[in-house]
Structure 1
């Protein structure tokens, strides 16, 4: 996190902005910084891959598609481990008849860490079997072989080897663990049924994620916000927002950018827009329409988010990645709340969202109160 703070201060220009004049007529500038955290990964799930007689790599993934491309980003771990070009890979997902392994739920920033690991261990199992088949057919020991260019070959004699397609055909002939008739005892029953459905169709790589690790992998993000607050109207304009993530290796750069931007907009909603008012006497909502508790859009947050990552690989993940979903929201909300407080000479409302009427009441010296109504704060 220290690296994220340092990088964020430089990117945001904290020292330069802090040296500028604060007041300009009725408008006052405020600077804020916030930190978002969420647990970012799980362990103990299963990975399942298959090399077909056509030489293609089939990656069976239980990861859903929330629009974040996680199903694809996590599958790249298997492709990279087996050194198969992405265009030679096929992802099977979304339906149980695609023979999917036991997977985590897709939420809580956990998918990248959890399922790059599962796909990695499944690919490692496939690599082990490729080497064993090559040793059986071509002589020597499995450790005498390596992989590359969709082949398994002797390290000392690269011309002696098998293509992945040839090895997959041999796996079908050999049967047993090579083609899925046998499988590890520690995989989940869901994965066992998936392997049974694939038995005899190619070289099967299947394994439970038993990679050692300690504690909860952290997803951390630091946000920096500059606002202009109009004391006459209570309106807030966001002038600048910068976010720097400590999420290990960035696995999918485009999705990373989308998550950083979208999460920032959600965070602004938490801090300044989405007020849920209700009557505690009967539990009825006082908001009469969505507009009175409006989730913000890009038009409401008309600022380009500057973003980056420290890109320090996570030591407990062979691919180095961790999740960064929820922290994007928390950091933006905290940074905006801090900037509002800075503009109001340190006043803290201790509730969210902070709306224009709250600001006007504070500046007028009035106690902010909803009287008989209550606010469902975040």
Structure 2
């Protein structure tokens, strides 16, 4: 009897995964008043009650052979878990394995409670903050062994036969080396690297390169489709809408498999009474891999049923038939066939598995209810993603950045930025560009601007407004940037795609941190963000504070 409505979630980027206790206030008031209630929270209040990225304090030692191959890493992390004790140190260690592929590694981590803002997931939790601090250290090691910074990363970064995380688990594919090669050319790294760093008038040039990474997909979810008697393909999706419309991009996998024009498709989403299948949460950069697979297996089920119906009515075996032009037809005699609309009508007449009255035993109970709701209305395609394969689908992005640093003011101007994604096949070029640029802007905030500072005694936030904690805007990034993809299909996705929602931030955060070190002749701040006052203090020979557990990383 309960209908859950979630037409538009809005940008959450992890902070909306867990419930806020304050969410219950509006629901209770609405129940008492019997009318809609809206809760408004100011930016200052958000610093008190919102879910912030977990801060980290860490220590790392990296051993490298003379040829530049990383042989050992020793990493220890203490997470500032706030009032909830959340931490993402394991993910930070995982990022390290992806970037360095050490022959041996020890990781130790702990999360502590503090009397500060609750902590939770934020875009690329663990991986992105580690990207910002690991990149300058990687540059330092490369310099020690006399290896070009891009070449050093190419030598050590994850490949398709490599591993990720403490379990040393496999990946579906990884082409970071190809992304580095492509980005090196697109950014013209070699030419820029040969230029003078001194620009005159107190300005210094800095070049940086970095890697962003996040696990980008899951398995085992359900797809649900209906072919209507008018020939319309009804695509049912439980994927939410964060404003990126990825739910629609995922649905295109079903349309492609069925070889049906997008104009003849209708998406059903946002309300449980629209008969939605069991779907993943829209987090973890996972939906294009996860639900591209789920949509595909549902389409395969629908195609198999179409061919079976055609064989019943027209003779022969199901294997004698194929689809195309919104028809199922005999391969040896294309004039013998049925339209999609006709197969839908026949499915209703035949009943059973064809119109959804019967369904696979392995689909989720949520999908079972959705299928029951559609039964008798058309030809139903429903299946669980049981596509063979193993390993984590990684989202990898390489970023290249050039900055102009003013040694008089400590201000940083980003001159140019190029990023190349290893995300398999690009499904939606416009959304790809938007995600790449949007994450780039977030990366500037992580590395240079958005600092959380708390009163060490009472845990009260000291930066409660836009001035003290400035989010980056279009004024902080170049108008024109380069966004490219390697475009090598992932072998475990029927549409070849992997996600990139989160590592877009990490790539810029890493490249910008690398560029700051380069502009300052190798100086290491060992912190993120590196803010203007810290740069000024360094140039003036003063100390700057990054005392343990008194400064959050983001």
Fold match by TM threshold 0.5 = yes
Asked if the contact 1:278/1:373 (under 8 Å) is kept, the reply is no
- Alignment of 1:23 with 2:186, yes or no, is no
Alignment map for 1:361-376 (pairs within 5 Å): 361-369=537-545, 374-376=550-552
- Alignment of 1:36 with 2:212, yes or no, is yes
By how many angstroms is 1:244 displaced? 0.3
- Alignment of 1:279 with 2:455, yes or no, is yes
TM-score normalised over the length of structure 1: 0.98
Bigger shift: residues 90-99 or 368-377: 368-377
Q: How far apart in 2 are the matches of 1:125 and 1:371?
A: 59
- Alignment of 1:3 with 2:178, yes or no, is yes
Question: What are structure 1's unaligned runs of at least 5 residues?
Answer: none
1:227-267 deviation line (CA, Å, top 9, x unaligned): 01111111111000000000000000000000000000000
Asked if the contact 1:247/1:309 (under 8 Å) is kept, the reply is yes
Alignment map for 1:1-378 (pairs within 5 Å): 1-25=176-200, 26-369=202-545, 374-378=550-554
Q: How far apart in 1 are the matches of 2:546 and 2:337?
A: 76
> Residue 58 of structure 1: SS of its match in structure 2?
strand
By how many angstroms is 1:20 displaced? 1.1
> Residue 205 of structure 2: SS of its match in structure 1?
strand
Q: Which has the higher contact order (CA 8 A, sep 6+)?
A: 1
Q: How far apart in 2 are the matches of 1:323 and 1:311?
A: 12
TM-score normalised over the length of structure 2: 0.67
Q: How far apart in 1 are the matches of 2:546 and 2:347?
A: 71
Asked if the contact 2:239/2:287 (under 8 Å) is kept, the reply is yes
Bigger shift: residues 298-307 or 50-59: 298-307
Q: How far apart in 2 are the matches of 1:180 and 1:170?
A: 13
Q: How far apart in 2 are the matches of 1:369 and 1:82?
A: 60
Asked if the contact 1:101/1:190 (under 8 Å) is kept, the reply is yes
> Residue 512 of structure 2: SS of its match in structure 1?
helix
Residues 34 and 46 of structure 1, relative CA distance in 2, 3 Å threshold: same
1:187-219 deviation line (CA, Å, top 9, x unaligned): 000000000000000000000000012111000
By how many angstroms is 1:303 displaced? 3.8
Q: How far apart in 2 are the matches of 1:98 and 1:61?
A: 9
Q: How far apart in 2 are the matches of 1:375 and 1:147?
A: 60
By how many angstroms is 1:171 displaced? 0.1
Q: How far apart in 2 are the matches of 1:213 and 1:280?
A: 49
> Residue 454 of structure 2: SS of its match in structure 1?
strand
Asked if the contact 1:109/1:324 (under 8 Å) is kept, the reply is yes
By how many angstroms is 1:372 displaced? 11
> Residue 292 of structure 1: SS of its match in structure 2?
coil
Asked if the contact 2:527/2:546 (under 8 Å) is kept, the reply is no
Q: How far apart in 2 are the matches of 1:372 and 1:141?
A: 71
By how many angstroms is 1:286 displaced? 0.8
Residues 127 and 233 of structure 1, relative CA distance in 2, 3 Å threshold: same
1:27-53 deviation line (CA, Å, top 9, x unaligned): 110000010000000000000000010
1:30-83 deviation line (CA, Å, top 9, x unaligned): 000010000000000000000010111000011111111211110011101111
1:97-154 deviation line (CA, Å, top 9, x unaligned): 1100000000111010000110000000000000000001111100010101010011
Residues 19 and 372 of structure 1, relative CA distance in 2, 3 Å threshold: closer
Runs of 4+ residues deviating >6 angstroms: 370-373
By how many angstroms is 1:370 displaced? 6.6
Q: How far apart in 1 are the matches of 2:259 and 2:486?
A: 26
Asked if the contact 2:413/2:476 (under 8 Å) is kept, the reply is no
Q: How far apart in 1 are the matches of 2:489 and 2:465?
A: 45
Bigger shift: residues 136-145 or 17-26: 17-26
Residue equivalent to 2:66: none
Q: How far apart in 2 are the matches of 1:122 and 1:227?
A: 48
By how many angstroms is 1:290 displaced? 2.5
Q: How far apart in 2 are the matches of 1:365 and 1:7?
A: 39
Asked if the contact 1:240/1:303 (under 8 Å) is kept, the reply is no
Bigger shift: residues 92-101 or 299-308: 299-308
Q: Provide the alpha-carbon RMSD of the alignment.
A: 1.2
Bigger shift: residues 102-111 or 16-25: 16-25
By how many angstroms is 1:291 displaced? 2.0
